[in-house]
Structure 1
Amino acid sequence: MLIGILCALGAGLMWGLVFVTPLLLADYPGILLSLGRYIAFGLIALVPAYIDRKRIAQLSAEDWKMAMKLSLIGNLLYYATLASAIQLADAPLPTMLIGTLPVVISIFSNWRPGHPSESVAWKRLAPSLLALCLGIMLVNGSELNRLQQDAGTVRTPGDYALGCALGVFAVAAWTWYPIMNARYLRTHARINSVTWATAQGLTTLPLALIGFVLYAGYAQLSHSAFDLPLGPRPQVFIGMMLLIGLSASWLGTLMWNKASQLLPTALAAQLIVFETLSALLYAFILRGSAPATQVLAGIGLLCVGVIAGVRTFSRQPAIAHTP
């Protein structure tokens, strides 16, 4: 359990980077940020794929089909909708929606567990879920108030509504991804977590390349003023794509796969809170300011919720399996 928790923490630290990237590259469309990130992820995955080629060759057609589904929904569609939501509705609303993932995934995974050992009585799970909910409300409420007071740009109601819809879609995509990913890894224990992360990178590459060609064609037909293929700041764009492609995509996926194999799904879902905490940490570093008291209180509640969730699952009685 300790190794699983540390892997989930590492994945959260890596994933937090993807929340500041749309702000650093605000002049780039969200879909292009997603395509660029996963082209970089796919190219980076070619190196471990060559090193791990024996185990890669042992993956079945079923494995590759599942890896492609996970890549399309949990990678490309998720980050395209998240980045676009951040740019349309600004950071607080999408962060608030994504911050509900620990609760949403815990509820869905406990409602329909893949294995009896993953199921926990709702009354035992409720305290940690309540603490997470309250923490998320405090953190995001403070951030929303701050941004409304300091907003330098005015967004139309249509932009805000579209950003909200895209944020909800991102939550749905990443609710499906960790549950299905964890269950597939548990039912196919022969698959190594490194091999599975690399396989997802390899399946992402052709999807991202096709998406880039389609987007470039659309931009050409619509006479877009955006400077394709690398935009107005090519060096910054390439650098950020390589950074999040390596850290948030390959390394983050690798560590999350390991955590998914070692932890019950409902517990792993609650540990996604590390992503929210990391995103806040990077945002405050980028902002050059300390968090408000309300934010600190929310972070404290998030930590309490995680600790309560760990204690709930660590006290699970062993289940005897009939041969």
Structure 2
Amino acid sequence: MFGGILAGLAAGALWGLVFVAPRMVQGPSSVDLTAGRFLAYGAVALMVMLLARRRWPTAGQALSALGMSVLGFTGYYLLLVLAIRDAGTEVPSLIIGTIPLWVMLLGKPGHLRWAALVPGLLLTVGGLVLMMASPHEAAGPAPQPHYLRGLLLAAASLACWTAFALLNSAWLKRHPEVNATDWANWLGLATGAGALLLWMAAGSPAQAIAAQPDFGLFVFLCIATGFGSAWLATILWNVASQRLSASLCGQLIVSETLFALAYSFAWDARWPTPAQAAACVLFTLGILASIKAHR
């Protein structure tokens, strides 16, 4: 269990980098950066499989990896991008921020009492409320013409990643013979193919990306996040999913928010506001409460 918790926290630390990476480069769109990251993930997975002579999936395993990659990677992000286009950034972010709660609630093991999850849930909800209250109260732009459609797309995005977390955990537990690294590689191949389709559908022309002044940094960030925040993070998350219940993994997803905030504060060279600091404390206490409940 301890190894699974460390793996889940390490995955959160790597995922958190994705939130600050777009702020480090100017020019390429978020779709370009995400497609580049996922293409790099696919390339890393392919090289590892060829150089290390890792096993290749069967037809059934490849189909499962393709479905999971749509739920947890390209499909999830494409829906989120479309939601932000139609409804702005704030409300879709609030909706996506509830993913850990849904995974905790839907992934509860049968032997665990609901009362045992309440402290961790309440602490996490309190942290989300504190973190989101300030931007929610700020006066924003008028609702977009397709605001309702944006909300529905955000809800679909949330459903995709929640389903991925639950189904990925269940699949790995049903197939203990599949190594966490092999499964990450198979997901990478499927995700790389999906990223190519995503870039063709919504990305910028290759010439326009290459002409950007930050093109070198763009390529570096795609490779760094493709290797660390996708390939390595997926291996670590697979280890956590194999060793821990889905509900505890759901609580560990909160660590992604914590690390993303820490990286953001460091990039801005500032300390968090009192409300943000209090939210981070509540998130941390929520993780500890959930670990205690699952012992």
TM norm structure 1: 0.81
- Distance change in 2, residues 1:267/1:99 (3 Å): same
Pair 1:133 & 2:125 matched: yes
Following the alignment from structure 1 to structure 2, what is the Cα–Cα distance between the partners of residues 88 and 28? 20
- Aligned equivalents of 2:227, 2:182: Cα separation in 1: 15
Where structure 2 has 5 or more consecutive residues not aligned to the other structure, the ranges are none
Deviation of the 1:144 alpha carbon: 4.7
Cα 1:2–1:92 change in 2 (3 A) is farther
Q: Specify whether residues 92 and 27 from structure 1 end up closer, same or farther in structure 2 by C-alpha distance, changes over 3 A only.
A: farther
Which of 101, 104, 109 is 1:103 aligned to? 101
Contact 2:28–2:209 (8 Å) recurs in 1: no
Query: Which residue of the partner structure matches residue 120 of structure 1?
Result: 112
Per the alignment, in what secondary structure is the counterpart of residue 158 of structure 1?
coil
Q: Which residue of 2 aligns with 1:158?
A: 144
Instruction: Say if 1:230 and 1:237, in contact at 8 Å, map to a contact too.
Output: no
Aligned to 1:197: 184
Distance in 2, Cα, partners of 1:89 & 1:296? 28
Equivalent residues of 1:31, 1:81 under 8 A apart: no
Distance 1:279 1:169, change over 3 A: farther
Distance, in Å, in 2 between the alignment partners of 1:108 and 1:160 is: 30
Correspondence 1:188-267 to 2 at 5 A: 188-215=175-202, 228-230=208-210, 232=212, 233-267=214-248
Return the offset for 1:166. 4.4
Q: Is the deviation greater in 283-292 or in 91-100?
A: 91-100
Aligned to 1:171: 158
| Partner AA of 2:94 in structure 1 | M
CA distance in 1, matches of 2:244, 2:52: 25
Question: Secondary structure at the residue paired with 2:112?
Answer: coil
Contact 1:95 1:276 in 2 (8 A): no
How far apart, in 2, do the equivalents of 1:79 and 1:299 lie? 25
Classify 1:288/1:170 alpha carbon distance in 2 versus 1 (closer, same or farther; 3 Å). Answer: farther
- 1:288 deviates by 1.6
Tell me the SS of whatever aligns to 1:290. Answer: coil
CA contact (8 A) 1:30 1:80 kept: no
- Which amino acid in the other structure matches residue 299 of structure 1? C
Alignment partner of 1:53: what SS? coil
CA–CA distance in structure 2, aligned partners of residues 48 and 80 of structure 1: 27
| Structure-1 residue corresponding to 2:291 | 310
Instruction: Kindly provide the CA deviation profile for residues 292-322 of structure 1, in whole angstroms up to 9, marking residues without a partner as x.
Output: 11111111111111111111110xxxxxxxx
Q: Which residue of 2 aligns with 1:270?
A: 251
CA contact (8 A) 2:9 2:255 kept: yes
Query: What whole-Å deviation, never above 9, does each CA across 1:153-173 have from its counterpart, x for those lacking one?
Result: x74521893665544333222
Task: Confirm or deny that 1:181 pairs with 2:168.
Answer: yes
Larger C-alpha radius of gyration, 1 or 2?
A: 1
The 8 Å contact of residues 78 and 198 in structure 2, kept in 1 or not, is answered as: no
Percent identity at matched positions?
31
Residues 62-91 of structure 1, C-alpha deviations (whole Å, 9 max, x = no match):
111110111122111223344565687776
User: Counterpart in 2 of 1:37?
Assistant: 37
CA distance in 2, matches of 1:265, 1:53: 31
Of residues 256, 260, 264, the one that matches 1:279 is 260
Deviation at 1:200, TM superposition (A): 0.7
What is the letter of the counterpart of residue 197 of structure 1?
Answer: A
TM-score, structure 2 length as denominator? 0.88
Change (3 A) 1:293 1:179: same
Native 8 Å contact 2:87 2:144 kept in 1? no
1:140 and 1:160, CA in 2 relative to 1: closer, same or farther beyond 3 A?
Answer: farther
Q: Distance in 1 between matches of 2:129 and 2:171?
A: 32
Q: Which amino acid is 1:158 matched to?
A: Q
What does residue 299 of structure 1 align with? 280
How many residues are matched? 293
Residue range with higher mean Cα deviation, 158-167 or 63-72: 158-167
Q: Distance in 2 between matches of 1:163 and 1:214?
A: 19
User: Structure 1: which 5+ residue stretches go unaligned?
Assistant: 221-225, 315-323
Report the Cα distance in structure 2 between the residues aligned to 1:286 and 1:85, rounded to whole angstroms. 27
